[in-house]
């Protein structure tokens, strides 16, 4: 479902519609999962997903991207709106009864579709993933 949605959104972005991809990676999740157990880790993943969904507009899609990574597909969006979204998510994580006490935060790579340099779904995902890894590298 995510791939079909993303293909449609990239096609719309080629026609001039705004599109931003956010790839979120949970910080300190592995330590929490190892110390609190896998059931608690599953609860943390669900809590983060719920925050992403609640902070998204109905037209957007949030999906698990792998492991402790999630993707938000922000349709009809620009980077400014995506930064606002990521800020709201971070604020909610601090307040969350599971994520807050566990000090689980997230690093997010953002990529806005650029028709001059991006032709495929993989191009926009790769751009967001590259930015995520740069952020994660700065935190180490």
Residue 137: predicted pLDDT: 78
Query: CA 6, CA 135: separation in Å to the nearest integer?
Result: 24
Q: Residue-wise over 106-132: b if at least 16 C-beta within 10 A, else e?
A: bbbbbbbbeeeebeebeebbebbbebb
* Burial (0-12, 13-18, 19+ Cβ within 10 Å), 35: exposed
Query: CA 61, CA 84: separation in Å to the nearest integer?
Result: 16
Residue-by-residue pLDDT tens, the chain, 140 positions = 788 999 999 999 999 999 999 999 999 999 999 999 999 999 999 999 999 999 999 999 999 998 899 999 999 999 999 999 999 999 999 999 999 999 999 999 999 999 999 989 999 999 999 999 998 876 54
Residue 116: predicted pLDDT: 93
Residue 87: predicted pLDDT: 98
Taking alpha carbons only, the member of 112, 130, 99, 104 closest to residue 18 is: 112
Q: Is the dihedral of CA 14, 88, 135, 133 positive or negative?
A: negative
CATH class, 2-139 region: alpha beta
Residue 139: predicted pLDDT: 55
Residue at token pair 């994660």: 136
Query: CA 6, CA 11: separation in Å to the nearest integer?
Result: 8
């Amino acid at each position: 479902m995510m791939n079909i949605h993303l293909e449609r959104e990239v096609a719309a972005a080629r026609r001039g519609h705004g599109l931003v991809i956010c790839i979120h990676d949970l910080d300190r999740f592995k330590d929490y999962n190892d110390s609190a157990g896998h059931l608690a880790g599953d609860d943390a993943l669900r809590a983060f997903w719920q925050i992403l969904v609640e902070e998204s507009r109905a037209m957007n899609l949030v999906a698990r991207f792998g492991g402790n990574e999630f993707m938000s597909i922000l349709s009809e969006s620009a980077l400014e709106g995506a930064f606002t979204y990521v800020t709201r998510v971070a604020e909610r994580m601090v307040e969350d009864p599971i994520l807050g006490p566990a000090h689980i935060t997230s690093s997010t790579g953002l990529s806005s579709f650029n028709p001059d340099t991006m032709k495929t779904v993989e191009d926009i995902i790769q751009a967001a993933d590259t930015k995520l890894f740069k952020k994660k590298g700065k935190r180490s």
